């Protein structure tokens, strides 16, 4: 998968997770929808408009348990329950080639050549891989595009464009629809593989 990332293109804020259920009495809590890479000890997160450092990370990658500076009791955690934990994009760890934060991909136009299939609404974590939830321009059902090299041919965050392989997705029929350059096509439901 070819990739292009412009310098300074990291989103302003990244979601690290949400404050989950309190654990014990010392202010520790589980993180729901966690991105473990953004929760390392020392990382500064914002919750309830206040910046706080992660002072402890325990548990598992699937169910991380954290403590934040200045939150030292169960009542305070319960008051924050459900709120977002965010990290400044500029302070996020660097990603390798072929890796993107979900926020970078959201809103990108998904194309097959000149054919516009839609825009990325969100990135979904499936059991086997992550997938792009692509919404057609005219509305209707979503198209799930697995984030694997056979499906995603190129990503240009700078151009806000993602090139996909219709053959791999089982959507050859979409390319056969008479269209002119830049025409918009609506993929049939159920045609994608994940």
- Residue 92: per-residue pLDDT: 82
- Residue 9: per-residue pLDDT: 59
143-146/44-47 β-pairing: unpaired
- Residue 127: per-residue pLDDT: 85
Domain assignments of the chain as residue spans, ordered by start:
13-91, 102-176
Of the candidates 96, 50, 87, 43, the residue with the CA atom closest to the CA atom of residue 67:
43
The dotted CATH code for 102-176 is 2.30.30.240
pLDDT in tens, the chain (194 residues): 554 444 445 678 899 999 999 998 999 999 999 989 899 999 999 999 999 999 999 999 889 999 999 999 999 999 999 999 999 988 888 888 888 888 889 999 999 988 999 999 999 888 888 999 999 988 888 899 999 999 999 999 889 999 999 999 888 776 554 443 344 444 444 443 33
Residue 77 CA neighbour count, 13 Å, CB half: 22
The dotted CATH code for 13-91 is 2.40.30.60
**C-beta of residue 121 within 8 angstroms of C-beta of residue 135:** yes
Which tokens in the block code for residue 76? 């305070």
Q: How far apart are CA 174 and CA 191, in angstroms?
A: 10
């Amino acid at each position: 998968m070819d990739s292009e990332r412009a310098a300074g293109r990291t989103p302003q804020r990244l979601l690290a997770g949400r404050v989950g259920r309190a654990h014990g009495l010392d202010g520790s809590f589980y993180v729901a929808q966690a991105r473990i890479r953004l929760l390392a000890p020392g990382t500064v997160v914002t919750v309830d408009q206040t910046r706080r450092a992660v002072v402890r990370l325990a548990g598992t990658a699937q169910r991380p348990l954290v403590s934040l500076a200045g939150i030292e009791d169960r009542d305070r955690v319960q008051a924050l329950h459900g709120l977002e934990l965010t990290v400044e994009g500029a302070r996020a760890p660097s990603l390798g080639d072929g890796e993107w934060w979900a926020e970078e991909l959201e809103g990108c136009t998904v194309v097959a050549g000149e054919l516009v299939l839609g825009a990325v609404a969100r990135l979904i974590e499936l059991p086997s891989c992550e997938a792009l939830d692509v919404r057609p321009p005219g509305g209707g059902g979503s198209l799930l595009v697995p984030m694997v090299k056979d499906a995603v041919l190129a990503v240009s965050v700078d151009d806000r464009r993602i090139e996909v392989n219709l053959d791999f997705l089982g959507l050859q029929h979409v390319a056969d629809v008479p269209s002119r350059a830049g025409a918009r096509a609506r993929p049939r439901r159920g045609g994608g593989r994940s």
